[in-house]
Structure 1
Amino acid sequence: MLKTSNALIARATLQRVGNKLSQEINYSTSEEIPLTSDEETILKSFFLSSIRSSQDLMKFTHHVSLDYNTVYDSTSKFFQQEISFIDYSNNILNHLYEKSNHPQIKTGELFIVLFQEIQFQEITTDAIGIFKIEKKIDYLKFNATEDDMDFMISKGVKLQKIDKGCLILNSEQSDGYRVLSIDNNSYDANYWKKSFLDLEEVMNDSYQTKHHLQLLSNFSNTMVDEGDTFVQKEFMSQGVQLFNDNEVITKDILEQELLSPFDVVDSYDNFKTQYKKENNLDLEEHFNVSVPTLKKEKRKIKSQINLDTKIQIKLDISEGDTVKENIEKGFDEERKMHYYKVYYNEET
């Protein structure tokens, strides 16, 4: 979806945003920061490698009109050359400050970066990155001469992942642009994506794949009977197998190959209706499976059976048919205990 190997930083600013509730002061900017070739290489990798971990394609929204979304409006004006990059950076800083009105929100450094030569889907375009750095760590810096060596302790940032960030691609402006966003701090979850950016997911194949799998996973929790989790794991294993084997998922395929064998067609339909309403989802009956999203979501599905005898059985849910054929569950009348029987050729 996103390729950044040829990307370059064309412009950048550095500011500091405070906590409005605590009446902290902002540090705005009147000029761009110059970057050496080495600095550009390091910062580009730092910012974009973090963004690439985001799989959900988002877009700006607003309950009244997109023009009332501050980040969208300022971004449109900049891309249309109605305001300068400095004015844009200060607009974003001030808007973020206005939304920093909760005691848990931390002061942080704010980088705003204009990237060029970003490859997104089938196009090459510009993009604006907004990155906030919050967490600092102590580190040692050593100084050595011919006669002596000493050190000093400073605070800095590990150049591994950004705390908060978004990349606004100059694509699909009329539909709220296309945005990738990350937030690696969970203590203020609504602050970045909702209050500041006001984003919603783009309803594409990735959206459908993700939310249908999450729907199946949540529904499988209702199938657990008196602590018996095997049917739940088997259901999800067969569900993932279904997504693996089909490029397109339809209502008929889902019912015939997954729901009917478990005799849950009606209960699933009832659960789905309530689930969509509670989570404000728009789920289609026919969609293409997004392979990258499928791989990501499979890692989230719990595949381990924990037994009270301190034994754990971990299933490979991506191999539903193999799991079904090679594991049996029963009850031993003599010992009055449940058991699993597992078939295999050799240990690996």
Structure 2
Amino acid sequence: MTGIEAVTLEKAIVHKVGNPTRGEELKLSANTLTLNDEIVRGLLTRYFLAPFNEHELYHFTHISDLDMNEVYSYAKNIFEDPSCFQRESVFLAQLLYNKSTHARVKEGELYVVLFDKVLFEGEEKKALGIFKSETKETFLKVFSHGQGWEIAAEDGININKLDKGCLVFRTDQNEGFKVCVVDNTNKQQDTQYWVTDFLQVQPFTNSYHHTNQTLGLCKLFIEKEYAEKFDISRTDQLEMMGRSMEYFKSREQFNLQEFAEEVIHHPEVVDTFMDYKRNFEANRNFAIDEDFDINLTAVKKQAKVFKTVLKLDKNFHIYIHGRRDLIERGYDEETGQKYYKLYYEEES
């Protein structure tokens, strides 16, 4: 997130939230943090806000009535009456405690923070932050002792690694606010308690969402389904990876039928891809449009993980950008080793 330096941290409180199935306690704080030290205030603001991608937006939902989404209601109450901040933060901690029953859920600190002047969509907004730190790291502390120095080990929080977070912007209230979400721990489907059980949020279906999800779908399909069902080589996988990314980089509009014809080609692979897309959507409880504007920010994000590199032992990396027909794979019986033969016209 950008513009963090101008953000005002107005209020913050910390509660300790354990896992009730392990007999861990919920320890509630009666007071907000003092935070008179400007350095600490600045470090906390960066720790809380830096990991968020403001383009990847969610909104609170409920199966019957939005006001029955508890996190949404507590956030709305704080925005409307900041004097109830401590009381509503207790309700948030109690709710999270009740949702923290899975065996993999770790005990941690819950931070509830009220911000002002957060730059979002070109305007300064009020925002409510809900964060949980679960991972402790060991740090060495050097301190003076007599005529020399001593070292002690202390457990603490790495302020460069936010475990879980939710940033609620005071906008679009009737649609469930606009929300950013971070969840860097417990990413398994059965432990998505932060997103699905506690927050109950769903993505906004905008161009960023459709672009990001479609590229994620393509990557998973090529790496898993395509490789397993059609017994293709690693170079075939990388070639399709390259074609997929090139399609998104060279177009302004995505069309599913055009993508299938130009990138996937073979009818039986296209049918498998369409089936995979339907399962992908069903498992995530959202749909990807067949036509949408391509979002370049999402393309740049996915390009970082769309690797088209063929790694051969620890000796060679071959970057494949196209022309699968110029790569020949073989096996040398004399040496008992595999090889690749590359055809080219110039080198630079």
TM-score, with length taken from structure 1: 0.84
2:326, 2:342 within 8 Å by CA — same for their partners in 1? yes
- 1:275 & 1:77 partners in 2: Cα distance? 36
177 and 2 in structure 1: CA distance in 2 versus 1, 3 angstrom threshold: farther
Is 1:284 paired with 2:289? yes
Q: 2:22 is paired with a residue of what secondary structure? A: coil
Q: Could you list the per-position Cα deviations for residues 83-133 of structure 1 after superposition, in whole angstroms to 9, with x for gaps in the alignment?
A: 611112111111111112233322212221111111111322011111112
1:131, 1:166 within 8 Å by CA — same for their partners in 2? yes
Q: 2:27 is paired with a residue of what secondary structure? A: coil
Specify the alignment match of 1:42 in structure 2. Answer: 43
1:165, 1:183 within 8 Å by CA — same for their partners in 2? yes
2:245, 2:306 within 8 Å by CA — same for their partners in 1? no
- 1:334 & 1:148 partners in 2: Cα distance? 66
- What percentage of residue pairs aligned between the two structures are identical? 26
Specify the alignment match of 1:138 in structure 2. Answer: 138
Is 1:71 paired with 2:71? yes
The one-letter amino acid paired with 1:315 is Y
- 1:138 & 1:310 partners in 2: Cα distance? 33
Shift of 1:177: 1.3
The one-letter amino acid paired with 1:17 is V
Q: After the TM superposition, which of the residue ranges 4-13 and 135-144 deviates more from structure 2?
A: 135-144
The one-letter amino acid paired with 1:42 is L
228 and 131 in structure 1: CA distance in 2 versus 1, 3 angstrom threshold: same
312 and 55 in structure 1: CA distance in 2 versus 1, 3 angstrom threshold: farther
Q: Could you list the per-position Cα deviations for residues 222-261 of structure 1 after superposition, in whole angstroms to 9, with x for gaps in the alignment?
A: 4444342333322221111010011221245424533448
116 and 344 in structure 1: CA distance in 2 versus 1, 3 angstrom threshold: farther
110 and 66 in structure 1: CA distance in 2 versus 1, 3 angstrom threshold: same
Q: After the TM superposition, which of the residue ranges 235-244 and 24-33 deviates more from structure 2?
A: 24-33
Specify the alignment match of 2:319 in structure 1. Answer: 315
Where does structure 1 lack aligned partners over 5 or more consecutive residues? none
Q: After the TM superposition, which of the residue ranges 262-271 and 283-292 deviates more from structure 2?
A: 262-271
Q: 1:5 is paired with a residue of what secondary structure? A: helix
**RMSD over equivalenced CA pairs, Å:** 3.2
269 and 151 in structure 1: CA distance in 2 versus 1, 3 angstrom threshold: closer
Shift of 1:51: 2.7
Specify the alignment match of 2:32 in structure 1. Answer: 32
- 2:51 & 2:276 partners in 1: Cα distance? 36
154 and 200 in structure 1: CA distance in 2 versus 1, 3 angstrom threshold: same
339 and 24 in structure 1: CA distance in 2 versus 1, 3 angstrom threshold: closer
Q: After the TM superposition, which of the residue ranges 226-235 and 85-94 deviates more from structure 2?
A: 226-235
Q: 1:254 aligns with which of 259, 282, 301?
A: 259
Q: 1:154 is paired with a residue of what secondary structure? A: strand
The one-letter amino acid paired with 1:26 is L
1:30, 1:86 within 8 Å by CA — same for their partners in 2? yes
Is 1:61 paired with 2:66? no
155 and 324 in structure 1: CA distance in 2 versus 1, 3 angstrom threshold: same
Is 1:88 paired with 2:88? yes
125 and 157 in structure 1: CA distance in 2 versus 1, 3 angstrom threshold: same
1:47, 1:161 within 8 Å by CA — same for their partners in 2? no
Is 1:113 paired with 2:117? no
Q: 1:162 is paired with a residue of what secondary structure? A: coil
- 2:68 & 2:318 partners in 1: Cα distance? 50
272 and 108 in structure 1: CA distance in 2 versus 1, 3 angstrom threshold: closer
65 and 226 in structure 1: CA distance in 2 versus 1, 3 angstrom threshold: same
182 and 273 in structure 1: CA distance in 2 versus 1, 3 angstrom threshold: closer
Q: Could you list the per-position Cα deviations for residues 276-305 of structure 1 after superposition, in whole angstroms to 9, with x for gaps in the alignment?
A: 345433111221212222122223334244
Q: 1:205 aligns with which of 169, 186, 207?
A: 207
Q: 2:28 is paired with a residue of what secondary structure? A: coil
TM-score, with length taken from structure 2: 0.84
The one-letter amino acid paired with 2:239 is E
Q: After the TM superposition, which of the residue ranges 226-235 and 191-200 deviates more from structure 2?
A: 226-235
- 2:82 & 2:42 partners in 1: Cα distance? 29
2:4, 2:45 within 8 Å by CA — same for their partners in 1? no
Q: Could you list the per-position Cα deviations for residues 287-337 of structure 1 after superposition, in whole angstroms to 9, with x for gaps in the alignment?
A: 121222212222333424466x88765435xxx4xx2288333679999x8
2:115, 2:127 within 8 Å by CA — same for their partners in 1? yes
The one-letter amino acid paired with 1:32 is T
1:165, 1:181 within 8 Å by CA — same for their partners in 2? yes
Where does structure 2 lack aligned partners over 5 or more consecutive residues? none
344 and 114 in structure 1: CA distance in 2 versus 1, 3 angstrom threshold: farther
2:7, 2:116 within 8 Å by CA — same for their partners in 1? yes
- 1:310 & 1:143 partners in 2: Cα distance? 43
Specify the alignment match of 2:328 in structure 1. Answer: 329
Q: After the TM superposition, which of the residue ranges 191-200 and 274-283 deviates more from structure 2?
A: 274-283
Specify the alignment match of 2:197 in structure 1. Answer: 195
Q: 1:329 is paired with a residue of what secondary structure? A: strand
- 1:82 & 1:41 partners in 2: Cα distance? 21
